[in-house]
Amino acid sequence: MRIFISGPYSGKTPEEVHLNVCRALDAAQKLIGKGHCPFIPHLTHFLHLYLLTRHGQSFDYETWMELDEAWLRCCAAILHLGTSPGADRELAMARALGLVVYRAVDEVPDAS
């Protein structure tokens, strides 16, 4: 199953952002181990850093959220790892799309 991983991204320090990205990657690893295909929006972190360092600017917040919504439309479920303005907005989008909502990797059944 295609599962969108949602959770906090932003942080007060680069280290907090890094930890948030790592939490999403840890969840992705477990989902892959269960036979699923996770989408990890936190990986756009690297595009964001590239754009900042290479071009001095990145996309605005709304553009990132539009990309998230486009990917949500391709998924059957969302794994909502924690609350934040963006993650909560992704959760609302997922509910509006009728996606299955999981709150923890352990709730996700193994793929059959």
- pLDDT tens digit sequence for 47-68: 999 999 999 999 999 999 999 9
Residue 73 has pLDDT above 90, yes or no: yes
By CB atoms closer than 10 A (0-12, 13-18, 19+), residue 88 is middle
Among 49, 59, 2, residue whose Cα is nearest residue 21: 49
- The 3-state secondary structure of the chain reads CEEEEECCCCCCCHHHHHHHHHHHHHHHHHHHHCCCEEECHHHHHHHHHHHHHHHCCCCCHHHHHHHHHHHHCCCCEEEECCCCHHHHHHHHHHHHHCCEEECCHHHCCCCC
Residue 31 has pLDDT above 90, yes or no: yes
pLDDT band at 87 (very low <50, low <70, confident <90, very high): very high
Domain 2-107 annotated CATH 2.30.30.240: no
The reported pLDDT for the residue numbered 59 is: 95
The reported pLDDT for the residue numbered 112 is: 78
